[in-house]
Amino acid sequence: MTNLYPPLLTVLNRLFLCFFFFALTISATKAQRSPNAGKPSLKMAPNQALRKIGPELATLKAQQAARQNNAAAPLVAPRTNKSLLQVKGNYVVIEALSENSTPQLLADLQALGMTQSASFGRMVSGVVPIANLDKIAKLKSLRSARPAYKPISKIGKTTSQGARALYTDEARKQQVITGKGSKVGIISDSYNALGGADQGVKSGDLPGKNNPNNFTTPVEVLLDEAADFGSDEGRAMAEIVHDLAPGAELAFYSANFGEASFAQGILDLQKAGCNVITDDITYLAEPMFQDGIIAQAVDSVKKAGASYFTAAGNNGRESYQAPFKSGGVAYFGSKSSFGSQKVKNAHNFAPAGKKKDLTQKIYVPLGATIIFAFQYSEPFYSVGNGASEGAKTDLDIYLLTEDTTDVVASSVYANQGSDPVEIMSFTNDGSYDSNYFNLLIDKFDGPAVGPGTMKYVVFKDNNDISIEEYHTSSSTIYGHNNAAGAITTGAVFFMDTPAYGISTPVAESFSSVGGTPILFDKNGKSRSRLIRRKPEVMAPDGVNNTFFGDSFLDEFYFFGTSAAAPHVAAVAALMQEANGNNLNADQIKTALQQTALNMNEPGFDYETGYGYINAQKAIARVAKPRILDFVLIDADSRQIIQVLHTGDVLNLTRLPSRNVYIQARTGPAKIGSVLIDFNDNQVIENKLPYVYPGAMAEFFKLTEGSYTLTAVPYSQAKGQGNEGVPSTISFRAVEEKIVRFELYHVSDGNVIRELKENTELDLATLPADLNIRAVTNPVVVGSVQFDLNGNTTVENINTYDLAGSSGQSISFKPGDYTLTAGIYPYAKARGQVGGSLTINFRVINSTVRAQDAQLSVAPNPFAQQARLSFSVPTTDNASLIIYNLNGKQVAVLHNGEAVAGKQYEYVLNGNSLPGGWYISRLVTSKTSLHQKLRLVK
């Protein structure tokens, strides 16, 4: 209990106050009407220019303006939680609430330079230029804005080895699973801001192109933090998931850009295919007594089929919760920069029947930082469908020195019509006479009866920080960590688990506890008190990783509930595969809870949920017999030829034998029986190996054709018991061969004709740049070797072209040709030749120029019209026809008698023709002339 001192405002105090408000460009023409009317106040007056963006952003704007003008920056007032602001150079992350239209506010903010923007409900969050904060404050579409305080991750102080502590190694071996078929979305601060992801892939700790264990699908990064602004905690979480479920794909989204962005990221991960999502983030201003926008996003993806795992937090029971109790007038801060402050209705912390006490003693050791997330039971404006008008009461919080003569921190936002939340941070730098401080809560304005529930949760970086009096030891799980759709995970020190000799696991003392009531629906309407069962489960709170956390003997350890949540997410991926990827979120949660090892009293409790998960039992609870894959086996040598997949084309020519078995491999490796259907021929196999045409049969001979293969596993012999997860594939078997040769035009790639035995090619009707292609079956082979009249070439990449695939052409001359092509299994014609084809063809040139016959074209090239003229030496039937390069007629200019010596002229109109080369051909009984024409468009 502390006496509160009377007001005393010095001249120096008044001078500083004037300077501070001038630097903020705040003009107040009237004194604020408040419980302290006529005297300076830490509250911003209603008519102050930057009031809509609040004191912290206003101070940030003033400080930047002072630096740009080379002026002395104003002192940072106690009300500014500067350490919590996400300042990125000349930018800051904000959360803005719309007045009427969220799309309009989003557009207005983007016009003022907002990037990484997202909207959800009435909130828009993103990164804005600090220089434009004054313009943002003037937006008609804006009701209010606040900093998007740095999200809190759930890092604690322990070490664990999760695979052993959860028995996932044994489960993976028993069930033959890796998490394949699932995609795990991870939300944290950053993934690769430090630039070490590639090394993690190369070392096998992350999936990606260069992963040495063939887990080559890279992490899909939807949004990441910029360099120097993240710790890559998300990458450490990814390493945990990959350690336990290496076959699962991974995706990442940074939560560092405000609540609306966080909520949108949850939805985006689900749209990107994530059926499991985990996070280790809390935004301090998330609603405590109502489902906020992040919690709503969690519920949305859960409804859509995804399982969501969130870290409970590392706040233990560091919370105060009580109804507001009027304590009356209080004075404090006589030595503060703003002078003495008066509040008329401070909260009375003392219990009923005890002497009134308007402050609560808090111990903060030297160098420690304490953060208060304070809220009260009124609806949020930022949440819901627009029906809520927000808070009716305006509560403020102050942290005072032990003797209450100075204000060391405060949060004094104007809450009415906005959100009932205040965030306050303080670091003890040793400039005070004591390490004890006093918390004061003031009802600045609002209804006569204060809120029925007030609550603050303490976030601290030093375990010696303590609430010294009136400590209610209340719940600390809130926000989306308390969402109905989330599976909230607490932490257990890995050495305090059965795998390490402890029969009853012990919760970490810092693991957050549940019990926070939900008092409003998502639209702000009062509802019956609802307390959700949180946390659901507990998991180990650390694992070795390659770079993150505390370092000891060259090893890094990742601590806290931040590590516990991705452990359970990885187990969920393993459960999905064991079940055939058909589980919904409730089935996963139920199995985890029912197989968990109880830690406190039997059943559920708010400290440990349903207990410590046992991955082996949880996976066994949901596992079904499954067909993992099919393998083709050489019946002569009993060696595996290859694994079969849908769409495979088997090259019969290259098989070591056509006498084969097909084996269905199962998970677990041994089950009751397998029914195998191969093109409607069925067998049931009751013992390993499960093969077609049956273990007692010799083999079957694979021939050319299309095949459909289905296998159905059963829990008992002879196709009895529970049916498991079947698998069906389709594939083809082909004889390797050269199907045909094609003559094609190099310039446009068009096929001119198929080359067959005894084909005759007339150079007079063909373009100059020609090539020959060998079409193979299968489409892709090792290589093709050509032999054209004794000249050999080799093509290693489809398409297989005699003169190469890079624009080369063949210079044909009249004569006879023999063409052979043979297929080889490897590049550069290595290995034994397989399918081959040989044809013979002839090349001629029918052009014969008569000395006294004439054919001319002008202009050539031509753009629209060309004039063609000809004459013949003797009267004869003549034709003048225009062909394209594919030999197709495009115009007949003359067809009939031509009189000797007469000059015939015709116009070729090119308007209806495509640009390119054409051939004009004059033919009589004695003469054949041609000219090439080029139409330019």
Q: Is the pLDDT of residue 667 over 50?
A: yes
pLDDT at position 675: 97
What is the spatial distance between Cα 478 and Cα 459, in angstroms, rounded to a whole number? 13
Q: Is the pLDDT of residue 559 over 90?
A: no
Q: Kindly give the pairing relationship between strand 319-322 and strand 454-460.
A: antiparallel
pLDDT at position 365: 96
Q: Is the pLDDT of residue 444 over 90?
A: yes
Segment 626-650, tens digit of pLDDT: 999 999 999 999 999 999 999 999 9
Closest CA to 188 of 735, 739, 561, 630: 561
Q: Select from 3.40.50.200, 3.40.640.10, 3.30.360.10, 3.40.50.140 the CATH code of 159-314+484-622.
A: 3.40.50.200
Q: Is the pLDDT of residue 402 over 80?
A: yes
Task: Indicate the class that CATH gives domain 48-152.
Answer: alpha beta
Percent of the chain scored above 90 by pLDDT? 75
What is the third-level CATH fold of 854-935?
A: Immunoglobulin-like (2.60.40)
pLDDT at position 165: 66
Q: What are the tokens at 852?
A: 């006294």
Q: Under CATH, domain 737-844 is a member of which superfamily?
A: Immunoglobulins (2.60.40.10)
What is the spatial distance between Cα 300 and Cα 270, in angstroms, rounded to a whole number? 10
Segment 277-295, tens digit of pLDDT: 999 999 999 999 999 999 9
pLDDT at position 33: 34
Task: Tell me the whole-structure pTM to 2 decimals.
Answer: 0.77
Q: How many helices (H) and strands (E) does the chain have?
A: 13, 56
598 φ/ψ sector (left φ>0, alpha ψ -120 to 50, else beta): beta
Q: What's the pLDDT band for 82 if we cut at 50, 70, 90?
A: low
What is the third-level CATH fold of 626-731?
A: Immunoglobulin-like (2.60.40)
What is the spatial distance between Cα 459 and Cα 465, in angstroms, rounded to a whole number? 10
DSSP state of 204: T
In this structure, which amino acid lies at residue 349?
Answer: F
29 φ/ψ sector (left φ>0, alpha ψ -120 to 50, else beta): alpha
Segment 741-762, tens digit of pLDDT: 999 999 999 999 999 999 999 9
pLDDT at position 81: 63
Segment 132-147, tens digit of pLDDT: 999 999 999 999 999 9
Segment 414-435, tens digit of pLDDT: 999 999 999 999 999 999 989 9
DSSP state of 323: -
Percent of the chain scored above 70 by pLDDT? 91
DSSP state of 860: S
Residues of each domain in the chain carrying CATH 2.60.40.2550: 854-935
Q: What's the pLDDT band for 11 if we cut at 50, 70, 90?
A: very low
Please tell me the CATH code under which domain 319-474 is placed.
Answer: 2.60.120.380
pLDDT at position 847: 66
Closest CA to 245 of 341, 168, 144, 335: 168
Mean pLDDT of the region 59-76: 72
pLDDT at position 670: 92
Residues of each domain in the chain carrying CATH 3.40.50.200: 159-314+484-622
Q: What are the tokens at 663?
A: 């084996």
Mean pLDDT of the region 437-452: 96
Q: Is the pLDDT of residue 30 over 50?
A: no
Residues paired with residue 123 on neighbouring β-strands, in sequence order: 97, 120
pLDDT at position 47: 76
Distances (CA, A) of 455 to 320, 350, 397, 443: 6, 16, 12, 14
Segment 145-173, tens digit of pLDDT: 999 999 886 443 322 355 666 777 777 87
Segment 860-872, tens digit of pLDDT: 899 999 999 999 8
Closest CA to 690 of 723, 717, 719, 663: 663
pLDDT at position 605: 96
What is the spatial distance between Cα 378 and Cα 393, in angstroms, rounded to a whole number? 8
